[in-house]
Chain A
């Protein structure tokens, strides 16, 4: 008798997914050469973006302007640094395309014949990757933030920090559920790569990854803040910066949590509906 069935219930389920977490963590470090090269190169765009914005604000100062979309120079740089932390939690490279591939080539059936839930499995797997990524990049990020400390006015107070942490953890769930939903499109369309491409491209723009949404001006800014994508990058960063406070902050967190639940449920509904159409191609 195996250990999983010996302890039934929630505990067993938890252990099962914990084990997936551990295996995924080991897998991640098997390709460490590539992993570290990627981590190093990741800092290049950060540097060039900072330099570009410095040039933009230097130019603006000559024409007597200091604020763009409500952001002064130092806030803008701080924002762009913080967006990386948001994306550290919310980005899920390859999740949607992985699900779509499993559907297309028939390997999705491995979830159907085993006592394993697709969404449960994937979320454990992703959590492991995120944990590995966050742990290994903590030091380089600490160095970067250390060098760039002068862009930050003050360290946020304890309540803001707690709210920030919550917004990041929710960003992980929103990011996961969002990509999972996108991946489920694979049940209806055989070739999803182009749809994924559209969504991911737009996402970089609308999530506030490139610049604070407010820079676009009205009505764009208000519209983009209605979408769940703003929680993937924009919202957590503004929480840390103290730009979202008080009632706005509480509302923001509640809406983020609602999006997390809604998108997870949507992913599940799409999965269930999709399975009815699924015909398990391949051998």
Chain B
């Protein structure tokens, strides 16, 4: 276990060194990331001039939700998204052989090889947005809410990780030439908005499907709601259970994919 911690620290250091070699590029990435989040906040601010609430979320509640989403997105992008992005290329070119030959767990190596430092400042942006929203609330949330938030967010990131792992594993069978980022971005579109928007006659079933069968809708909703709306301990329990099951299943799927992998080129 310690070996993996050491390895991860080495990966993080090497990634940072790489980024610092191209400081200008790194700085631009950070600025764009923050500029984008700023534009989004500007846009939602404009929306809330028009309406008092969206799907039952008031302005401060919605901005807390948004902050939670940014925080989660930033954690995903910083720690493993770019690694999975490269995975399909490793399969297509056959360079995965080099990973498989190393005396380290291949899932660990594929998931955490690179740390994308440039997206970490977005997490700070999310935290600021969340803090501002909490200060604007009429009633401050109880201490328990923060515990639920921490547990919920951890599970949500674990779930996102499992989904990404399974999504990349399909590259072995499909031989993908398309970027995983795009697929992932589409997938994220389910987490981006409050799940109450699905409360309409035709879409209830879809909302139910993505809550209980493929629980992506819970990811941002449950942690955010526990702080600014209602702490639903049953939902937290469900989120924890889903995260554990998904981590287990995704590992199985990944190993299965590795067994079907048949190198490429020469």
Query: Interface of A with B (CB < 8 Å)?
Result: 31, 33-35, 37-38, 41-42, 44-45, 47-49, 51-52, 54-60, 62-63, 65, 68, 93-94, 191, 193-195, 197-198, 201-202, 205, 210-211, 215-217
**Residue numbers in A under 8 Å from B189 (CB-CB):** 44-45, 48-49
Whether A38 touches B190, Cβ cut-off 8 Å, given contacts A31-B176, A55-B197, A191-B25, is no
Whether B197 lies near A31 (C-beta < 8 A) is no
Whether A34 touches B174, Cβ cut-off 8 Å, given contacts A45-B186, A59-B53, A65-B50, is yes
Query: Interface of B with A (CB < 8 Å)?
Result: 22, 25, 28-29, 32, 35-36, 39, 43, 46-47, 50-55, 170, 173-179, 182-183, 186-187, 189-190, 192-194, 196-198, 200, 203, 206
**Residue numbers in A under 8 Å from B50 (CB-CB):** 56, 60, 65, 68
Complex: chain B residue closest to A55, CB-CB: B55
Q: CA–CA, A188 to B183, complex, Å?
A: 31
Whether B174 lies near A33 (C-beta < 8 A) is yes
Whether A52 lies near B193 (C-beta < 8 A) is yes
Whether A197 lies near B32 (C-beta < 8 A) is yes
**Residue numbers in B under 8 Å from A45 (CB-CB):** 186, 189
Whether B32 lies near A55 (C-beta < 8 A) is no
Number of A-B contacts (CB under 8 A): 108
Contact of B174 among A37, A63, A65 (CB under 8 A): A37
Complex: chain A residue closest to B92, CB-CB: A31
- Known interface pairs A31-B175, A51-B203, A65-B51; 10 further A-B residue pairs with C-beta atoms within 8 A, sorted by A's residue number: A34-B175, A38-B186, A52-B55, A55-B55, A55-B196, A56-B50, A60-B51, A62-B52, A191-B25, A216-B43
**Residue numbers in A under 8 Å from B190 (CB-CB):** 44, 48
Complex: chain A residue closest to B118, CB-CB: A194
Complex: chain A residue closest to B52, CB-CB: A63
Whether B193 lies near A56 (C-beta < 8 A) is no
How many Å from the CB of A21 to the closest CB on chain B?
18
How many Å from the CB of A27 to the closest CB on chain B?
9
Whether B52 lies near A59 (C-beta < 8 A) is yes
**Residue numbers in A under 8 Å from B206 (CB-CB):** 47
Whether B200 lies near A51 (C-beta < 8 A) is yes
Whether A63 touches B187, Cβ cut-off 8 Å, given contacts A51-B198, A198-B32, is no
Whether A63 touches B51, Cβ cut-off 8 Å, given contacts A191-B22, A197-B32, is yes
**Residue numbers in A under 8 Å from B52 (CB-CB):** 59, 62-63
Q: CA–CA, A78 to B173, complex, Å?
A: 37
Q: Which 8 A-B pairs have the closest CB atoms?
A: A59-B51, A45-B189, A60-B51, A55-B55, A51-B197, A194-B28, A33-B174, A41-B186
Whether B183 lies near A41 (C-beta < 8 A) is yes
Q: CA–CA, A31 to B200, complex, Å?
A: 37
Q: CA–CA, A216 to B55, complex, Å?
A: 21
Q: Find the residue from A42, A44, A65, A68 having the highest chain B CB count within 10 A.
A: A44
Complex: chain A residue closest to B188, CB-CB: A45
Whether A35 touches B32, Cβ cut-off 8 Å, given contacts A47-B206, A65-B51, is no
How many Å from the CB of B175 to the closest CB on chain A?
7
Complex: chain B residue closest to A197, CB-CB: B32
Q: CA–CA, A102 to B153, complex, Å?
A: 41
Q: CA–CA, A211 to B29, complex, Å?
A: 24
**Residue numbers in B under 8 Å from A48 (CB-CB):** 189-190, 192-193, 197
Whether B192 lies near A198 (C-beta < 8 A) is no
Whether B28 lies near A34 (C-beta < 8 A) is no
How many Å from the CB of B113 to the closest CB on chain A?
18
Q: CA–CA, A34 to B176, complex, Å?
A: 6
Q: CA–CA, A33 to B25, complex, Å?
A: 35
How many Å from the CB of A227 to the closest CB on chain B?
15
Complex: chain B residue closest to A201, CB-CB: B36
**Residue numbers in B under 8 Å from A62 (CB-CB):** 51-53
Whether A42 lies near B54 (C-beta < 8 A) is no
Whether A38 lies near B182 (C-beta < 8 A) is yes
Q: CA–CA, A54 to B200, complex, Å?
A: 10
**Residue numbers in A under 8 Å from B54 (CB-CB):** 52, 55-56, 59
Whether B178 lies near A34 (C-beta < 8 A) is yes
Q: CA–CA, A201 to B190, complex, Å?
A: 20
